[in-house]
Amino acid sequence: MERRNLYQPFEVEYQEMDECPVSAHMHNFFELVFILDGTGMQCINDNKFEYKPDQMFLLMPQDCHSFKVKTTTKFFFIRFNNIYLQAQHKEWIQKLEFIFENNNHLPGCILKNRSDKQLVRSLVEAIIREQVNQQAYHLELVQQIINTLITVVARNVTFTVPAKLQKKGVSSTSLDMVHYIHQHIYSPDKLKAELIASQFSLSPGYISEYFKTHTGESLQQYITNYRLKLVEIRLRYSDLRMNEIAFELGFTDESHLNRMFKKYKGMSPSDYRRELKATA
């Protein structure tokens, strides 16, 4: 299978394709695909989905994907790699981590908020104009627009979290708790049971039982599992040192991180990262 590489931090590309397939391939970067016009079939990891205008797809590294064009299609591709991610502000990286954690790698439009489809189209058209006109600071403007697009994607991913839990009959209060945890995962002081209980008018002694009843996990278990999944993402997509990851995600120290991650994955974070590099 063809494997594609990206030799710069990011790139954008506009393509118009007639009735011909885009063969299955994999790559080592992230890709956002927006459909400006046309219809056809998208396939990601053997899952198929019909595409149409104003849809956007998120493709992760190592996803196997292809497009089969039915009617002439105008694609707009935004590609970026780890170098691009590592150059961004921490708050923006955290938005990306939320996307990585909750993206299900299945085909389908990532834009769940209908009004955002028009917003994304306007942003994509703005990038195309900047690429055509090549005026002063056009690269800087394109980068800012790309960051805005990814923020829109992050907002739409938040809509999938309640949907997953609602299928399990989760209450609106526990859904709000989940959002609160995601929002404050980098602020351990705000994730203490007493503080969360006060935030949602529940007894500190009852909050964990309440959360487990409605989500299947205790409050602390959910926080720990979510934090460890973010560690996994950091190990996979960044070059941060273990002590840096431990500090940012609220572990006591590196040994605490090692102990918890080994219990979670069956190996140390360092071994996990080495294994990822060996299979890349």
- Residue 119: pLDDT band (50, 70, 90) is very high
Q: How confident is the model at residue 191 (pLDDT cuts 50, 70, 90)?
A: very high
User: Does 34 map to a domain?
Assistant: yes
- The helix (run of H) or strand (run of E) holding residue 197 is helix 193-199
Q: Is 153 inside any structural domain? A: yes
Question: Tens of pLDDT along 25-75?
Answer: 777 788 899 999 999 988 877 677 889 999 998 887 777 788 889 999 999
Residues of the domain holding 123: 2-103+113-158
If one counts the domains in the chain, the total is 1
Closest by CA to 8, choosing from 96, 86, 81, 87, is 81
- Residue 97 in domain: yes
- In-domain check, residue 77: yes
Tell me what the mean pLDDT of segment 105-116 comes to.
79
183 found inside a domain: no
Helix (H, G, I), strand (E, B) or coil at 41: strand
For the stretch 154-185, pLDDT in tens is: 888 776 655 555 455 456 677 788 878 877 88
What pLDDT, on the 0 to 100 scale, is given for residue 163? 52
Structure tokens at 31: 């890709």
User: 242-269 burial string, b = 16+ CB within 10 Å, else e?
Assistant: beebbebbbbeebeebbebbeebbeeeb
Check whether 280 has a pLDDT greater than 90.
no
Whether the model clears a pTM of 0.75, i.e. scores above it, the answer is: no
Does 173 map to a domain? no
- Please report, for the domain that includes residue 123, its CATH number: 2.60.120.10
275 inside domain: no
Q: How confident is the model at residue 153 (pLDDT cuts 50, 70, 90)?
A: confident
Give percent of the chain with pLDDT exceeding 70: 85
- Tell me if 76 is assigned to some domain: yes
